[in-house]
Amino acid sequence: MTAQFVAPEIAWAQLLPVILVLGAGVVGVLVEAFAPQRLRRPLQLVLALGGTAAAIVAVAALWPQTVADGGTVVLGGSMVLDGPALALQGVVAALGLVGLLVIADRTETGEDAFAPSAAAVPGSDYEEVARRRGLAQTEIFPLVLFSLGGMMIFPAAGDLLTLFVALEVLSLPLYLLAGMARRRRLLSQEASLKYFMLGAFASAFFLFGAALLYGFAGSVRLSDITVAVGSVTGLDPLLIAGSVLVLVGLLFKVGAVPFHAWTPDVYQGSPTPITGFMAACTKIAAFGAMLRLVYVVMPGLEWDVMPVLWGVAALTMVVGTVAAIVQTDVKRMLGYSSVAHAGFILVGVVALTQSGITSVLFYLLVYGLATIGAFAVVALVREVNAGPGGAVVAEATHLSQWAGLGRRHPVLAGSFVLFLLSFAGIPLTAGFIGKFTVFSAAVEGGLWWLVVVGVLASAAAVFFYVRLVVLMFFTEPAGPDAPTTTVVRTDGLSQVAIGVAAVATVALGVVPGPVLDALGDVAVFIP
């Protein structure tokens, strides 16, 4: 008797957002290999922006069905396209589209943020020749798309192996992109190496934890692990150790204390457009995966593993805020600010309530918008030599260089102020609504003491945000012989990104109801 082949059923429609992004990345590689050099940049731009825009349309088309039936299990459970996963895919694709505008922007002289030849030794004759010939690293676009595709798979992973593969797909391109800055090449390459080395350690922790959870449940499927957790009557060392180690891998990606040491160095050394993209989208994807793990697998471990997350959340808010206060570099300050925000988001994660899921999804959206907008502003502010000719050199990231910027460029500085106020959680900005929702969810979950820590950390964080506002609008620049700053003229793509982020930050702060309601409709995980 011969066995009959049964063709697998694959829900292609639910996979369409990921397919569009990864497919555009694959075609981008072919363009890089076969297209003439003069055509590569326009083709890559069309592919990157078109692929992400098409993914957003696909998410919107799947939304009504997901609200109605709660989602779909795809590929035999390897991916779970439920409400939170679809919402996070839409947010990642939307922010990826805005981030790509900043990445693609060039100055009026045709320079982008990336080295003309990333493989060249910094300061070598080869690098100088590449710069004079006007070479451009257009392979950054497929690299960003591959990373974006991994980020879209990450929160939808239904088993630990898919989760690990998505983790590597989103991380490996970022390790390369972090080392491709046009200026301050050694600092950029140092950032890339640090990110790669610490990322490898985090991946090892994650894999070790996945192996222990497999030993405990006999399966890597999250649904099977959930069933096994429900049958445990005592303290199982494999379960506890495995859960903690998997969480360590995820906590590294979100930059939570004590796994945050890479954050300020990588944020400072990476090309600023990549810093904004990485700071926003990576955090969204990692928190999406953490939400699924905590809300699907760990509700039964509330008194075994969750106290660890409570402590990490409190420590992250405090350390991130205190460290940001003493920074003198804008990118490092925003890096430690992102650490503090990871703590605020963790407050919503550990609430273990329905509103906790909604609040985290909303916070990730508003934080991502303000982050990409803020780093887009930083990328435009450049240092000018005080000598004859006033040549534009590197980005002006030292706080003292921002003195008086608001008087010379009030619109750009005003946009930056808006993003800073949103980070601080000032009313009428989206950041205030985000913090209010996560703190409300934590109070509902009985974690009022964690909310007290969060409120105090938020109050202290206002200092370093307002300090920059005072520098830009109420402080005179240094002496006439000191380097001055200017805002470079570009193709205008960064200004479009800043405008979109600013409008969305105000709109979500004034009228957050429709978005909160839409997220609340899908904030249910498939077990």
For range 503-523, the mean pLDDT: 92
Residue 98 pLDDT > 80? yes
Residue 464 pLDDT > 90? no
Residue 122 pLDDT > 80? no
Among all chains, which residue has been given the structure tokens 């009022």?
Answer: 448
What's the confidence (pLDDT) of residue 133? 76
Choose the weakest-confidence range: 127-131, 171-175, 176-180, 263-267: 127-131
For range 61-90, the mean pLDDT: 89
Choose the weakest-confidence range: 31-40, 228-237, 448-457: 228-237
The answer to whether residues 525 and 156 touch, using CB atoms and an 8 Å cutoff, is no
Residue 353 is given by DSSP the state S
What's the confidence (pLDDT) of residue 524? 86
Choose the weakest-confidence range: 33-37, 381-385, 431-435, 505-509: 381-385
E strand or H helix that includes residue 74: strand 71-74
The answer to whether residues 491 and 356 touch, using CB atoms and an 8 Å cutoff, is no
483's tokens: 């380097």
Over residues 355-373, the pLDDT tens digits come to 889 999 999 999 999 999 9
Among all chains, which residue has been given the structure tokens 């460290």?
Answer: 323
Burial class for 462, CB neighbours closer than 10 Å (0-12, 13-18, 19+): middle
What's the confidence (pLDDT) of residue 48? 94
Query: H helices of 35-159, where?
Result: 37-69, 83-104, 125-132, 140-153
Over residues 165-200, the pLDDT tens digits come to 999 999 999 999 998 888 888 888 899 999 999 999
E strand or H helix that includes residue 16: helix 12-34
Residue 480 pLDDT > 60? no
Residue 312 pLDDT > 90? yes
Residue 479 pLDDT > 70? no
Question: What's the CA gap between 278 and 286, in Å, rounded?
Answer: 11
The answer to whether residues 350 and 445 touch, using CB atoms and an 8 Å cutoff, is yes
What's the confidence (pLDDT) of residue 62? 92
Cα–Cα–Cα angle for 498, 501, 507, nearest 5°? 140
172's tokens: 């490996």
What's the confidence (pLDDT) of residue 63? 92
Average per-residue pLDDT for the chain: 88
- Residue type at position 191: A
Question: What's the CA gap between 224 and 218, in Å, rounded?
Answer: 8
Query: H helices of 256-353, where?
Result: 262-269, 272-277, 283-292, 306-325, 330-349
Question: What's the CA gap between 61 and 86, in Å, rounded?
Answer: 11
451: left (phi over 0), alpha (psi -120 to 50) or beta: alpha
Q: Give bridge partners of residue 485 from the DSSP assignment.
A: 383
Beta strand 484-487 with 79-82: parallel, antiparallel or unpaired?
unpaired
Question: What's the CA gap between 270 and 281, in Å, rounded?
Answer: 15
What's the confidence (pLDDT) of residue 88? 94
Reference 360, options 378, 341, 373; nearest CA is 341
Over residues 371-426, the pLDDT tens digits come to 999 999 999 888 876 555 555 667 788 888 888 888 888 899 999 999 999 999 89
- Residue type at position 196: F
Q: Is the dihedral of CA 332, 337, 340, 342 positive or negative?
A: negative
Q: Name the band, by pLDDT with cuts 50, 70 and 90, for residue 111.
A: confident
